[in-house]
Chain A
Amino acid sequence: MDTGKNRAENRPSAKSGDYLWDRSGEPDPEIQQLESLLGKFRHDSPTPVSPPLVPERRWTFFPWRLRLFPALTPAAVAVAAIVVVTFLGYRAKPTPTTLAGWGVSEVQGAPRIWPMPRRTVSRGSAFRRTIPAKSRWTRAHACAC
């Protein structure tokens, strides 16, 4: 690194200083000879054909993929809505009747299945409990009938 030492020796002389600096003033034969000899190493290649320039994307806060987000949002919402409606629709449907066989045991009195006696109760019959008879209706078992 250059320092301020030996400043005087670095001051350009009146003769060669300007020529070395900007080729002004009286030409220095020594420098001219160096120029002519070393000039053979000078860059003289023609400008190459540069490849097509594809400008790189500038940095943005959102990467380009996130730019698709607004466009995809309605589609995503629609799909989600369809899924939810379908799910809820299935849930709301009455489950297939899997009537269990009902066992009726007499607790007190004579319970009747209106208007039939208990023994004649069949699937799908309406029944009414008669007061003051008491009965316990228990679900015997589930069946897929």
Chain B
Amino acid sequence: MARSGDRNDLLAAGLGPEPVREQFASEISEDVTWVAAAQDGDREAFGQLYEHYARMVHGVLLARVPVGEVDDLVQDVFMRALRRLSTLRDAGSFGAWVAAIARNVANDYHRRSVPEEPLTDDASDQEIQCGTSCADQDELAVAILEAVMSLSETYRETLILRLVEGMTGPEIAARTGMTHGSVRVNLHRGMEQLRAKLIASPSRMGPEQEKA
């Protein structure tokens, strides 16, 4: 995933530097207060952290595990975070920390379960020919989600946070600890790849898009 290590590339690409977390600086300082309070046993503060980060955790998990498992795993992530909260040294990096826990939980899920229908990168080469059966919005949504899931992991997490969870780029950067430049690159490249897949199987985007 494009992270702070890619800063030089991003600078060269003219996509940075941008002050990271500028827009969400006040939220981050609130997080610090909540983390400190939660570490002292304040339930309400941990509830605030949950409300603040649940969408991000949900998106991170959705990019890695089947849809039906995500809600339960979100709870697992926060339970794990709760148990380990005392080990968090930098309260300002709670988002990156909990995102890392979510990725670990997703990895654990794959380690202990045998996927019934694994989504692999091979799926990206397959055209999902749903035709008229995709008229149903739910099926269409599932088909598009599958297309997103077929992208490389680098892009699908950011794209899911943006398109599914409805977070903006700056919000994604602030919540996950990624740089603005990395998020921007992931969004645009991911969107390019998704468009290519949707064009390859136009029925995914519905009749209006086909006309367009």
- Residue positions of A touching B, CB distance < 8 A: 1-4, 7, 9-12, 17, 20-23, 29-31, 33-35, 37-43, 45, 47-48, 50-58
**Quick check: A2 and B187 within 8 Å, CB to CB?**
no
Q: A39 vs B184: C-alpha distance in the bound complex, in angstroms?
A: 20
Q: How far is A11 from B188 in the complex, measured between Cα atoms in Å?
A: 8
Q: Smallest Cβ distance from A131 to chain B, in angstroms?
A: 91
Determine whether the beta carbon of A45 is less than 8 Å from that of B74.
yes
Of A35, A54, A58, which one neighbours B163 at CB under 8 angstroms?
A35
The chain B residue sitting closest to A23, CB to CB, is: B168
Give the docked Cα–Cα distance between A36 and B73 (Å).
Answer: 24
B interface, how many residues as a size bin?
35 or more
Known: A10-B188, A40-B138, A50-B50. A55 touches B165 (CB 8 A): no
Q: Which residues of A contact B42 (CB under 8 A)?
A: 53
**Which of A38, A50, A56 is B145 in contact with, Cβ under 8 Å?**
A38
Dominant SS among interface residues on chain B: helix
The interface stretch among B8-16, B27-35, B93-101, B114-122 is: B8-16
Q: Are B169 and A58 in contact (CB under 8 A)?
A: no
Q: Which of B40, B148, B163 gathers most chain A CB within 10 Å?
A: B163
- A-B pairs with beta carbons under 8 Å apart, 24 shown: A1-B6, A3-B9, A4-B9, A11-B15, A21-B184, A22-B168, A30-B212, A33-B206, A35-B163, A38-B144, A38-B145, A38-B160, A38-B164, A39-B164, A40-B138, A42-B55, A42-B58, A50-B46, A50-B47, A50-B82, A51-B82, A52-B43, A55-B40, A56-B85
Please tell me which one of the listed residues B38, B54, B192, B212 contacts residue A43 in the complex, with CB atoms under 8 A apart.
Answer: B54
Assembled-state Cα–Cα distance A40/B187 (Å): 20
Residues on A with C-beta less than 8 A from B209 are: 30, 33
* A40 to B143 alpha-carbon distance, docked (Å): 13
Contact status B86-A55, CB under 8 Å: yes
Q: A7-B12, A39-B164 are in contact. List 8 more A-B contacts (CB 8 A).
A: A2-B154, A3-B6, A40-B141, A41-B62, A43-B71, A45-B54, A52-B41, A53-B46
Q: Judging by beta carbons under 8 Å apart, are A17 and B50 in contact?
A: no
Chain B residues lying within 8 Å of A12, measured Cβ to Cβ, are: 184, 188
**In the complex, B191 has a CB within 8 A of chain A:** yes
Chain A residues whose C-beta falls within 8 Å of the C-beta of B14 in the assembled complex: 7, 11
Cα separation A20 to B163 with both chains bound (whole Å): 9
Contacts of A31 in B (CB 8 A): 163, 191
B51 to chain A, nearest CB (A): 5
Set of chain A residues within 8 Å of B191, measured between Cβ atoms: 20, 31
Q: Which of A1, A37, A53, A56 contacts B144 (CB 8 A)?
A: A37
Tell yes or no: B176 within 8 A of A by CB. Answer: no
**How far apart are A137's CB and chain B's nearest CB, in angstroms?**
82
